Structure 1
Amino acid sequence: MAVSFNTIPNTARVPLAYVEFDNSQAITGTPVKNNKTLVFGLRLPTGKVNAGEPTRITRKEQAESAFGRGSMLAEMLKAFLHANPYADLYALALDDADDSVHATGKITVTGTCSAAGQIALMIAGISIPVSVRQNETATTIANKIAAAINANTLLPVTASTADADVALICRWGGITGNDIDVRINYYAGETMPTGVAIDISKMDGGAGNPDISQAIAALGDTWWTDIINPFTDTANLNLLSGELQSRWDGIRQIDGLCWIAYRGTHAQASTFALARNDYLFTCIPTNIPPEPPYIWASVNAAVCTYALNIDPARPVQTLELTGIKPPAIADRWQWNERNLHLFDGLSAYNVNANGKVQLDRVITMYRVNKYNVEDVSYLDVETIKTLSYIRYAIRARITQKFPRHKLADDGTRFGVGQPIVTPATIRAELIALFTELEIQGLLENFDAYKEALIVERDANDRNRINVLSNDDLVNQFRIYAHSIQFLL
């Protein structure tokens, strides 16, 4: 047997013993994939971390210090960590666009309190209880509401008063401020103090999202497996879509899935989704809930990535979105609306018996092929995540076992210890890897795979192996249909 060494030369004459280490055979089984999640979002001037600097976040307090207490980005990170404290989590802050307009809203108080009570105000899903005493006037109550809002530095708005009106303004500029929810009496049993009435003008008028091109440039060649993006304007989504497709291709191989959310009615959400066709985007339509959509996107990503990192092929259906409050009963999606969403490129959720938001099915925004024909090949996020893992497993296996090998035709005679690989060697390794992935529940139909597998030496480049394989992905158990033909 002709043993080949990596570091010990054949010309060594100085005695005595030389021992080297070779790790090419050290790893067995399928590899563990190191997933990284990156969150885009706006920071406040009080934040200590500059825009455009990817920063690892491990604690909620760190997020507030880095990007400003009550900032969009800090709240997204805190919501993510609440749902998934174990992720390798990073944040990339953006600043307001120079010409952005801040969203505004208004709370108008009327009447005089005839019996003491409490106003159950909620802004962006955060409760702000305001106690009201007997005989307090509308102006006094308005001042109390403004004071309570300004005292809570976690809120995305600040307040000022003019007589009985409370003017609200978002703490940052742009379209995202329009999605901040302001309401009263969310929970059952909450009522207004006797004699007092409140009218709410929803947040509106925000304009001018930041350009995320600089944020995309800051991604570099780091492999971000998941990106959470709060900006759903067409220009920014197109920029991010182009970058993600580049990362998915066979050269860069640093694919990532973008998580977004959209707030609006069924018609509004469908119109938004049907204008896109992105297989590397997944969007959850929130309807009109207390929390803003950027929080929904963050929590949806946190919950799903936690599960998919354990098993990329196992469906995420029935998982609860930790910390998310459902819309009011009248605003919840009906079955037919949820089903239509799943044809429009939108994910779907329901509200379970415990009042928790629970995922129905998480899909990509991909609907049709380039000929505008319906195409379900990239429908489910589990497909994207499974493909990403299989590619990673193949790359890890080949680069680990054959890092500095020579290439020869099948049938070439060489010493057993020679670092030479042939098409048959690669074929055997791929078949072995398939069986391991099959045991993990990621692939099926071994015999068909083995029969169809082509491994050959390139006719023009003798240093290259070409492979064609038909990998049959394990699917998800989605539907159980049963017809009972009963007898009497």
Structure 2
Amino acid sequence: MSVDVQAMSRILGIDVEARNFNVGNTAYLPQRIAIIGQGNSDTQYDTKKYTVLTSEEVAEKFGYGSPLHLAVDMLLPANNDGVGAIPVSIYALKDKDNAIAASGEIAITGTATETKSFKIYVGGISAQVVISKNDNAEAALTKIKNAIDGILKMPCKTSEVADGKLTLTAKWKGESGNQISINIEDAIVSGLTISKTNFQNGAVNPDVNDALAQINDIWETFILNCLNYNDADTLEKYRTFGEGRWVNTVKKPCLVAHGCTDNFTTRTAITDAPAQINDKINFLIVSVGSEELPFRVAARGLAKDIVTTANSNPATNYKATLTQLKAGDDIKQEDWTIRDKAVKLGSSTNIKIGDSAALNDTVTFYHPTSDNIGVWKYVCDIVKIMNVLYNCELIFASDEWKGVPLQPDSATPRNPNTKRPKDAKTALTILAQNLEADSIISDSAFTLENMTVSIDSQNPKRLNWKFPVKISGNVEVISGDIYVGVYLEN
């Protein structure tokens, strides 16, 4: 009211205030990424939530070549081809006291009879090496050592050369270090025999529960896991946490992305395990046969284009190429029949376009045979459901509904704050129509016909509503028929 009700002298008072006349219009759920992973074992850092701006600052804080640094390097690359302004937060893990770092080895015998330049890849990250004619094994290994040590973001550190061998040790401790690959296929030098032993013997991953507890009331929509996807204990912790985020008093669901470079048999042995069949929280981002670190594959998949698309056009499914990463060899790629089996067993898939892997099917582990509807299967569909939830919350968590008088539809209130069930129904009707217009749901007529809003029969301070929606589909399979005949002169 502009002028006090007790005023008597002639006056004109006009108040101006902001009002939201767009109640029920669709707002896209703002996406956020939480990274859960380790820093460099030789770096001192705390585990408080940390908001990321650049990969360089992550390297300085958590150590160059650490999982946290290498993951952010794919989310926020130097060329700005990443997640842009989407918030990225780090929930750092510390090594377990009894953890062991994985290690690999490069061995050389002989003496070079030519000068040769080549690249060695460790975890998909390259180091340029130049071997000179007459270099013996020790000299050649020293040059490889110096080349690796000269790349700050290498995921390993090197030992001193001894007995024709160079040991490479992961920069963090735990089982996930076993995922680091060594590629010496280009290292062919006349007179030298160069061999490798892949990273192994890393043991005891850190516990993710403390990191998950820090998320609290923040709606982190996607979690990037930097540990290995086949750690059953970690999968269970993510699943338990994620299920809790769907509880109706929490209302902040999330999805957990895991990188994977394994073939069909290896990865579906995990996704099809009994514990995972009903898992709608965890999902893989796949680049079959790639020698990149799996969590970098997952980070790039989120950046190109799962999270960015979810943020700007949540009705659309994902298809972008994993740029800046090497794909697996052509011979390791899976045909449609294998990809189809993988999806049915809860595993995402990729295809290869040129030299890059591309997202193909992005699905959660969820695949019970008893579910003929499958709304929890596709990551894209869950993002749509999250958007429906977000928009309903925008309506009823607003000040417009907090503590206001509640009367039945038959009432004709004078109080402008009073709400009736039909006011809620109006807002939900507008929302349904806008969700359909944005292709997040289909058949809004069904929603309007079956929506109910009422004051509770036992509690006059309680409003009950039901908002049934049909999540829209996406083009995944196209089937056409071409009929061919010949022209005959009549």
- SS of alignment partner, residue 107 of structure 1: strand
Residue 309 (1) aligns with residue 311 (2): yes
Query: Could you tell me which residue of structure 2 aligns to residue 467 of structure 1?
Result: 465
**CA deviation after TM superposition for structure 1 residue 458, in Å:** 1.0
Query: Could you tell me which residue of structure 2 aligns to residue 108 of structure 1?
Result: 107
Q: Distance in 1 between matches of 2:285 and 2:29?
A: 26
Q: Contact 1:79–1:295 at 8 Å: present in 2 too?
A: yes
Query: Could you tell me which residue of structure 1 aligns to residue 258 of structure 2?
Result: 260
Q: Distance in 1 between matches of 2:173 and 2:295?
A: 15
The one-character-per-residue Cα deviations of 1:94-113 (angstroms, maximum 9, x if unpaired) are 11111011111111112321
**CA deviation after TM superposition for structure 1 residue 398, in Å:** 2.9
Structure 1 residues 46 and 100: alpha-carbon distance in aligned structure 2, compared to 1, 3 A threshold: closer
Residue 282 (1) aligns with residue 277 (2): no
Query: Could you tell me which residue of structure 1 aligns to residue 242 of structure 2?
Result: 244
- SS of alignment partner, residue 392 of structure 1: helix
- SS of alignment partner, residue 393 of structure 2: helix
Q: Distance in 2 between matches of 1:23 and 1:405?
A: 19
The one-character-per-residue Cα deviations of 1:273-303 (angstroms, maximum 9, x if unpaired) are 1121310221124433121111112111222
Q: How does 1:4-43 map to 2 (within 5 A)?
A: 23-27=18-22, 29-43=25-39
Q: Contact 1:367–1:374 at 8 Å: present in 2 too?
A: no
Amino acid at match of 1:221: D
Q: Distance in 2 between matches of 1:72 and 1:200?
A: 23
**CA deviation after TM superposition for structure 1 residue 55, in Å:** 0.8
Residue 405 (1) aligns with residue 404 (2): yes
**CA deviation after TM superposition for structure 1 residue 201, in Å:** 0.9
Structure 1 residues 337 and 487: alpha-carbon distance in aligned structure 2, compared to 1, 3 A threshold: same
Q: Contact 2:64–2:153 at 8 Å: present in 1 too?
A: yes
Residue 171 (1) aligns with residue 189 (2): no
Amino acid at match of 1:296: V
Q: Distance in 1 between matches of 2:293 and 2:357?
A: 14
**CA deviation after TM superposition for structure 1 residue 34, in Å:** 2.8
Q: Distance in 2 between matches of 1:349 and 1:323?
A: 16
**CA deviation after TM superposition for structure 1 residue 148, in Å:** 1.7
- SS of alignment partner, residue 198 of structure 2: strand
Query: Could you tell me which residue of structure 2 aligns to residue 368 of structure 1?
Result: 368
Query: Could you tell me which residue of structure 2 aligns to residue 454 of structure 1?
Result: 452
- SS of alignment partner, residue 136 of structure 1: coil
Q: Distance in 2 between matches of 1:8 and 1:38?
A: 50
Number of aligned residues: 473
Q: Distance in 1 between matches of 2:247 and 2:10?
A: 51
Q: What do you get for the CA RMSD once the two structures are aligned? A: 2.3
**CA deviation after TM superposition for structure 1 residue 85, in Å:** 2.9
Which consecutive unaligned segments of at least 5 residues does structure 1 have?
A: none
Amino acid at match of 1:382: C
Q: Contact 1:367–1:375 at 8 Å: present in 2 too?
A: no
Q: How does 1:43-54 map to 2 (within 5 A)?
A: 43-44=39-40, 47=43, 49-51=45-47, 53-54=48-49
**CA deviation after TM superposition for structure 1 residue 381, in Å:** 0.8
Structure 1 residues 32 and 272: alpha-carbon distance in aligned structure 2, compared to 1, 3 A threshold: closer
The one-character-per-residue Cα deviations of 1:103-155 (angstroms, maximum 9, x if unpaired) are 11111112321121123211111111211111212222122212222222211
Query: Could you tell me which residue of structure 1 aligns to residue 200 of structure 2?
Result: 204
Q: Distance in 1 between matches of 2:49 and 2:201?
A: 30
Structure 1 residues 20 and 251: alpha-carbon distance in aligned structure 2, compared to 1, 3 A threshold: farther
Q: Distance in 1 between matches of 2:418 and 2:154?
A: 63
Q: Distance in 2 between matches of 1:175 and 1:46?
A: 17
TM-score (norm 1): 0.91
Q: Distance in 2 between matches of 1:239 and 1:70?
A: 26
- SS of alignment partner, residue 168 of structure 1: strand
Q: Distance in 2 between matches of 1:8 and 1:213?
A: 56
The one-character-per-residue Cα deviations of 1:341-379 (angstroms, maximum 9, x if unpaired) are 111111111111x2111111211111117xx65662211
Structure 1 residues 95 and 15: alpha-carbon distance in aligned structure 2, compared to 1, 3 A threshold: farther
Amino acid at match of 1:260: H
Amino acid at match of 1:135: N
**CA deviation after TM superposition for structure 1 residue 73, in Å:** 0.6
Q: Distance in 1 between matches of 2:4 and 2:463?
A: 29
Query: Could you tell me which residue of structure 2 aligns to residue 228 of structure 1?
Result: 224
Percent of aligned positions that are identical: 20
Structure 1 residues 143 and 223: alpha-carbon distance in aligned structure 2, compared to 1, 3 A threshold: same
- SS of alignment partner, residue 406 of structure 1: coil
- SS of alignment partner, residue 427 of structure 1: helix
Amino acid at match of 1:411: S
Q: Contact 1:118–1:129 at 8 Å: present in 2 too?
A: yes
Q: Contact 2:93–2:211 at 8 Å: present in 1 too?
A: yes
Structure 1 residues 15 and 383: alpha-carbon distance in aligned structure 2, compared to 1, 3 A threshold: farther
- SS of alignment partner, residue 402 of structure 1: coil
Farther off after superposition, 203-212 or 339-348: 339-348
Q: Contact 2:28–2:314 at 8 Å: present in 1 too?
A: no
Query: Could you tell me which residue of structure 2 aligns to residue 89 of structure 1?
Result: 88
Amino acid at match of 1:79: M
The one-character-per-residue Cα deviations of 1:36-76 (angstroms, maximum 9, x if unpaired) are 2110110125656412x111111121111121111111111
**CA deviation after TM superposition for structure 1 residue 8, in Å:** 8.5
